[in-house]
A and B are shown apart, each in its own frame.
Chain A
């Protein structure tokens, strides 16, 4: 098992990706992605649909196995057949486009389940933490509601709390506002921004350019499986050099 690397120190990249490749059958979705993230970094990955953004972040927590290349999370190699998946997923939380809450559990239970079942933590302590997390995502009073009784934005915030309950070091957000009504997008973005401001390391795949410009320390533009261009938002949006980036930005901004 590749367990957490004892030689890793916080001054090294928390996530280090090198030449990540992934194909689905004949279709090569990732053609060599490399990226370094330091602790506390917030980066946004943008790009047209089908450019491999989601596949890339799914490779980071091994939901999608990569074909070749290397991703190290706190020094732990992800591309390893003997990967200790639990150790990896404790460190990396993920929030999905479709929320994917467990519909047979209440909001509070959704947040509490994984720490109790997976980490075998004490139920009372977990509940205390879960209630605090529900307050943090501003859903006080909704603890006993089932996902089916909550709006999309509320469900997504429960999903964020559920991920945070595992106390991850990195959060992956996979187009988390794409399925939401415009009026509920904001409440989710506020929650994510709060996390970013608290120093959580975040990778966001998003179409919310305004939000990306606001919270991201760095923006990566991907197209057809490669990172075309990247840079801090201040220069990225105004001084894009590659014609593909320019075209994409002109369509979306």
Chain B
């Protein structure tokens, strides 16, 4: 490792390309923390947004008109507003009217910190699209297949969990894939409310070392890598779920 650090140092001396995040341990740790924060934020939001999608799609097919209208309103709200505005709305508007707790120094502390708000905001944002994606998958499951389950004594919930969801998942994986890629990229917005994710940390580094082009290049490459891993995983999943003679 030491050789790599030395190479970065020499590179800076020879060419002026300043990769502080390689040779400087403080910057390195900041960036690693930022990277891990981005991964963590992405993973939580991916999980929550998929859960919101499943529940929302289920609620859209519910008998209660009120429930269906609530879901429709939720989707409209999140689809028709910019995610950055949503994030600000959650953090500054909702955050300011939330009750506060007292920390160990006796000072008031918000109940939810900026990371929590980023998770909530981004999950609901991506979740709204996931509801629509799952709904399209659910609608692709033939009525007759559901009837067969019903004739075998399945309840509506059992049919949904055992038959409809597994089939709908397969139909909508490609669009889900797209939306989740978008979500990972959208996590950079958490920068706006000072969540120390990768973009935020990179910004801190370039403010200190004035190496903006280097950090920007690094960010691009890091996101190509991150999204690449996600897409690779999703494609593998898609392949492993593929059924002989179904949907092709």
Binding site for B on A (CB under 8 A): 61, 63, 85-86, 89-90, 93-94, 96, 98, 100-104, 113-114, 117-119, 146-149, 159, 162-163, 166
B167 to A85, Cβ gap below 8 A? no
Query: Which of B147, B150, B158 meets A117, CB within 8 Å?
Result: B158
Q: A89-B150, A117-B162 are in contact. List 4 more A-B contacts (CB 8 A).
A: A94-B148, A94-B151, A103-B167, A114-B154
| Minimum C-beta distance from B134 to chain A (A) | 16
Interface code B133-167, partner A: CB below 8 Å = 1, 0 otherwise?
A: 00000000010110111111111001000110011
B153 to A86, Cβ gap below 8 A? yes
Which A-B residue pairs are the 8 nearest by beta carbons? Answer: A148-B245, A100-B148, A114-B152, A89-B153, A118-B153, A94-B151, A103-B246, A86-B153
| Minimum C-beta distance from A104 to chain B (A) | 5
A148 to B147, Cβ gap below 8 A? no
CA distance A162 to B148 in the complex (A): 10
| Minimum C-beta distance from A199 to chain B (A) | 22
* Cβ–Cβ < 8 Å partners of B149 in chain A: 102
Interface code B115-149, partner A: CB below 8 Å = 1, 0 otherwise?
A: 00000000000000000000000000010110111
A146 to B148, Cβ gap below 8 A? no
| Minimum C-beta distance from B186 to chain A (A) | 31
Query: Which of B150, B152, B162 meets A163, CB within 8 Å?
Result: B152
* Cβ–Cβ < 8 Å partners of B246 in chain A: 103-104, 146-148
Q: List 17 A-B contacts (CB under 8 A).
A: A63-B147, A89-B151, A89-B153, A94-B148, A94-B151, A96-B148, A100-B147, A102-B145, A102-B149, A117-B158, A117-B162, A118-B152, A119-B153, A149-B244, A149-B245, A162-B152, A163-B152
* Cβ–Cβ < 8 Å partners of A117 in chain B: 154, 158, 162
